[in-house]
Each structure stands twice: as structure tokens, then as C-alpha cells.
Amino acid sequence: MDRSIRNKQIGRADWLVQRSIITRALIVLACVLIAAALLPGCASNNASGGTSGDSYEQAYAKGRYADAYDQASKIAGSQRGKNRDQAALIAGLSARSLDRNADADRWLRPLITNSDPTIQGRAAAAVGLLSSDANKHEEAARLLELASRRLKGDDAARASMYAGDSLRALNRTQESKAAWQRAKELVEKDASLRMIINDRLAGQGPPPLKPGPITGKPTPGAGDFTVQAGAYGSLRDAQRRANQLTNFGTTRVVERTDKSGNKLFAVRVGQYSTQQAARDVAKQIGTGAFSAKISDER
């Protein structure tokens, strides 16, 4: 066979082999890219406990407490480890916002000894506030002091302030002042919180509870945004919460209906011209508070 013809045949064979290798490599790369595209969706599904919609944490942050509770409680009941504990935390906090105090206590109390300081701190703070609402101030002070040592910054300051409130209710004056002083030292960014703590140190304690319904309709033209600080199945508990928040602005209780047709009483605070202003106050109030449009009150 002519040498030139044989060299051409060999060259063609080499090219076919190279093309086969390249084709296989492209197929493998395509499979990897498809898998990578699918993985985020799988992770999202696992986090939300379903195939679509927000995760339970997103639902909680948006104030959709019933959805957050349903998703988080399912995940907490089926998993172990840190994922389970985080889901249990959100289930408990959501139950508290829904005025399901027994469920809140059931999910949160076991987390008070959790090894994660943030989970432990948030659980201790929530159970401490439940105890305070039930006038169990010894337990409330103990749990809120624990929370202030596990949390950081403004959250720690807020927990120490409420611990001081419970100590004051127990007539432990010096201890309450010490807790408020520590709260003042822990404040990082929240100027309003610092002012509230200064009022306590100056002898102006937390506002007393007022019986009867909370009133205070929005003022026309004063702003299109407000802060929702919780939604309760009991008008009495909503009134109590509204009275606790008067330092943040004018409070009111608005009757609402959830997706299931259940009556809820939403606690609203203030009236603001911008959504960012409402968000700033929501951050000061803390867990569960979020900005909302005021149009549904008119």
C-alpha cells in the first residue's frame, strides 16, 4: 500500500478517536451541569418541607406563622441534629406568635439546653417571655438572663432588659437595675432600645397593662406603612402585647382572618411614610415583627 495513503488512513482513525473522546467529555459535562441545576431545587424542597413556596424560615420572617409552623413542625418531627433543632425553634416561635402557648412551650423548652448558643438563646428568650406573660417572674428572669448571655448585640440587650423587668416585678430592685445597666452596655445599633433602657434606669419602668380594647385608627395621610408585631387568637393576649409595645409608638389591635377562616387579632404599631422606616422599627421590636401596609385597616 502506498505510504501516503496509509498515513491518511491512520490520521483519519486518530481524528475519529479524538472526536469520540471529545463527544463523551461533552456528554459528561452536560450531565454535571444538569445535576448542578437540579440540586438547588432539591435543597429548597428539603428546607421548605414541600416542593414549592418559601422555606419555613422565610414564611416565619414574612409573618406567615401558620405556614411556618406547619412546615417546621413536620421537619422537626422527621429529622435529627441541628436541622431538627432549627426547625423546632421556628415551630415554637411560630406557635408563640399564633398564641398557641402550649405548643410553643413544647417545642422551645427542650432547646433551652441546646449546644448551639443562638438556638439556646432564642428559645430561652421566648420561653422567658411566655413565663413573664404568665406572671412566673422567677423563671422569666432566669431564662431571660440566660438568653442575654447566649445572644449577641441588640438581641442580648433586649433579653437583659426584659430580665430586669421581671426582677422589678419581684421587687428585686438592685438586681433589676443591674440587668438594665448590662442591657445598656450590650446595645450596639438600636438607638430606640437604648433610650427605652435609659428610661428604666431613670425610674420609668415598663408601661403597665391597660384593660379593655386597644384603639388608635390610622391617621389619613400620615403614612402607608405600619409594623405588625404578632397575631393572636385571643383578643386579651393581643391587648396585652399591644400594651407592652407602647414605647415603640401608638399601638392598636386589628381583627384579621387567616387563610383557614380563623379569626386573629393582629397587633399593629405606629404609622410610617416609608417601608424602610417601618422595617427599622420592626427590627427594634425583634422576633416576629415585620412591616405591613396600612391599607387593610381603612
Residue that is written with C-alpha cell 417601618 in the block: 278
Give the SS3 label for residue 289: coil
pLDDT by residue, tens only, the chain of 298 residues: 454 544 444 445 454 445 555 555 554 454 444 444 433 333 333 444 443 356 888 888 777 778 889 999 999 888 766 689 999 999 999 888 777 889 999 999 999 999 999 999 999 999 998 898 888 999 999 999 999 999 999 899 999 999 999 999 899 999 999 999 999 999 998 777 788 788 889 887 665 544 444 455 666 767 889 999 888 777 767 877 887 787 787 888 888 777 777 778 888 988 898 999 999 888 888 777 899 888 877 5
Under 8 Å between Cβ of 275 and 225: yes
User: In sequence order, which residues have a C-beta less than 8 Å from that of residue 62 and are 6 or more positions away?
Assistant: 54, 290
Amino acid at the residue 50: G
Q: What is the CATH number of domain 58-201?
A: 1.25.40.10
Domain definitions of the chain by residue range: 1-43, 58-201, 225-297
| CA dist 118 → 56, 97, 108, 175 (Å) | 18, 19, 13, 25
CA 18 from centroid of its chain's CA atoms: 56
CA–CA dist 248, 74 (Å, integer): 35
What value does the CA radius of gyration of the chain take, rounded to a whole number of Å? Answer: 28
Residue that is written with C-alpha cell 438547588 in the block: 40
Under 8 Å between Cβ of 59 and 71: yes
pTM of the model: 0.59
CA 256 from centroid of its chain's CA atoms: 21
Q: What is the DSSP string of 86-116?
A: HHHHHHHHHHHHTT-HHHHHHHHGGGGG-SS
Other CB atoms within 10 Å distance of the CB of residue 185? 11
Residue that is written with C-alpha cell 438592685 in the block: 174
| CA dist 45 → 51, 53, 62 (Å) | 5, 9, 18
The domain covering 225-297 belongs, at the CATH homologous superfamily level, to Sporulation related repeat (3.30.70.1070)
